Amino acid sequence: MREEDYHTHYLGETESGLLFFGYDTFVFPNGFTNNNWENERLEYALVYLFDNKGNHIETKYKCAGKTSEIQPHRTNELLEGSISELGRFKFKNIEVKPFKTEIDGIAFGLIPNDECQMIELQPSSTIAFSEPWDGEYCT
């Protein structure tokens, strides 16, 4: 479910019928330590592409760099640039299936967590979906 100006702002469909989900996120490739996190955290801008049946077909991404080395809002600028590269599109709710892809050795995607019976947006568990699978999510 698309929520404007929040985690699911960049949901939609391209003129050619591809569904997309864009967001920016971060990872700690070597784990989190409290003392120097800005130098350990990498910032990413991602656009997941799906066919009209919700199957993941491609991930476009850009690593903005370490948090300590980039300007504020840089990942959002990269994300908006990647979305504009899709051509004509409209923002809308989309329905997609869980998927997992690997970027720089890190799992990204909408990944099922059987332990808590949710589907989490990874990495960093930004949001999670659960029954009744109606598009609402927890943060």
Count the alpha carbons within 13 Å of 10 in the hemisphere toward its beta carbon: 20
Domain region containing 31? 10-98
Indicate whether 138 belongs to any domain: no
Kindly tell me if the per-residue pLDDT of 64 is higher than 80.
yes
Domain count, the chain: 1
Tokens coding 17: 């019928």
> Is the confidence at residue 112, as pLDDT, over 80?
yes
In DSSP terms, 14 is beta-bridged to 89
Does 134 map to a domain?
A: no
Long-range contacts from 57-61, C-beta under 8 angstroms, 24+ separation: 57/18, 59/101, 59/103, 59/108, 60/85, 61/103, 61/108
Q: Is residue 89 part of a domain?
A: yes
Q: Is residue 49 part of a domain?
A: yes
Q: What's the per-residue H, E or C state across 107-138?
A: EEEEEEECCCCEEEEECCCCCEECCCCCCCEE
Question: What is the C-alpha separation between 67 and 24, in angstroms, rounded?
Answer: 12
Q: How many CB atoms lie within 10 A of CB 24?
A: 21
Tokens matching residue 89: 């599109």
Q: Domain for residue 113, yes or no?
A: no
pTM: 0.91
Flag whether 131 is in a domain: no
Residue 86 forms part of a structural domain:
yes
pLDDT in tens, 12-39: 999 999 999 999 999 998 888 777 889 9
**pLDDT, tens only, 65-78:** 999 999 989 999 99
Q: 24 in a domain, yes or no?
A: yes
**In the chain, beta strands by DSSP E:** 10-14, 19-27, 42-50, 56-66, 89-91, 99-103, 106-113, 118-122, 128-129, 137-138
